[in-house]
Amino acid sequence: MPFDPATLDAPFAALKAYDWTADAAPLKTIDQAAIAAHADAALRADLEKRLCGILGGGPSRAAKEYACRKLMMIGTAASVPALAALLGDKDNSHMARFALERIGAPEAAAALRTALGEVSGDLAIGMISSLAARRDAASVPALAALLQGDATIAAAAAEALGRMSSPEALAALASADPFAAGGLGRAVVDARLACAEGLLAAGRRAEARGVYQALLDAAKGKPAAKEVELAATRGVLACVDASLAAL
């Protein structure tokens, strides 16, 4: 049975006034509309517009959070501007990413990349994390540049490059120090290992083995590098076995 958009008027009025002390029962209709929107393009567009309307100005953090959860399900490129506007807002940045990370439209990735250049600290780590989850190839240069900066953000960038597992990501990681202090070195190693696994899974055994061998060489003679040596040894063996399997 088609969903009548007019039934959304009252629930959205309730959502505008919603906060963490209010009755959430009226929101149930919006939940149902979000499911029904899958097979009803007009309803989806209408619902998306209404939800985006919650994201600006007056409604509470709780209302915006609710709208972001629904946009995670049904959002399209049309939601991106409203969501992007929240990315720099400490209270709402995560929930904006909650939606943007899962919206497949390229505009969503572009918004996250733009925000990465504008925010700092934990919010930047959030952008990096969402770009990594999307395996956004276009963000590799920006992530590569971050490897040289603040160690915490550099570690997140390294981790993200590992998640990308692309040749470009690997090239960026090759210049990062796998034995850098704190969590950065650990993240670089983890990312390089992830890239090597990606190469191996793609059948590019020689290149994967090169990554492992480089880590083995780098670990040589370093007293605190045993786990690197162990992991890289596992990798080399996996490459050799993959060669066997392919023959």
Cα atoms in the 13 Å half-sphere on the side-chain side of 155: 13
- Using CB under 8 A as the binding rule, whether residue 137 contacts another protein is answered as no
- Spatial neighbors of 30 by CB under 8 A, at least 6 apart, are 8, 11, 12, 15, 47, 66, 70
- Using CB under 8 A as the binding rule, whether residue 123 contacts another protein is answered as yes
* Secondary structure (DSSP) of 97-123: HHHHTT--SHHHHHHHHHHHTT--HHH
Q: Taking contact as CB under 8 A, which single stretch among the options 6-14, 21-29, 47-55, 135-143 is the one that binds another protein?
A: 21-29
- Using CB under 8 A as the binding rule, whether residue 1 contacts another protein is answered as no
Q: Taking contact as CB under 8 A, which single stretch among the options 7-15, 50-58, 124-132, 138-146 is the one that binds another protein?
A: 124-132
Residues from 90 through 119 that contact another protein (CB under 8 A): 91, 93-95, 97-98, 100-104
Q: Which is nearer to another protein, 123 or 147 (CB)?
A: 123
Q: Which is nearer to another protein, 102 or 168 (CB)?
A: 102
* Secondary structure (DSSP) of 72-91: HHH--GGGHHHHHTTTT-TT
- Using CB under 8 A as the binding rule, whether residue 159 contacts another protein is answered as yes
Q: Which is nearer to another protein, 8 or 93 (CB)?
A: 93
Identified binder of another protein from the candidate list 81, 106, 117, 182, rule CB under 8 A: 182
Specify whether the CB–CB gap between 42 and 8 falls below 8 A: no
Tell me the C-alpha distance between 12 and 14, whole Å: 5
Residues from 72 through 91 that contact another protein (CB under 8 A): 72-74, 91
Specify whether the CB–CB gap between 192 and 173 falls below 8 A: yes
| Residue 193 DSSP SS3 | helix
Q: Which is nearer to another protein, 8 or 208 (CB)?
A: 208
Q: Which is nearer to another protein, 8 or 34 (CB)?
A: 34
User: What's the min distance (Å) between Cβ of 66 and another protein?
Assistant: 9
User: What's the min distance (Å) between Cβ of 67 and another protein?
Assistant: 13
Q: 191: exposed, middle or buried (C-beta count within 10 Å: 0-12, 13-18, 19+)?
A: buried
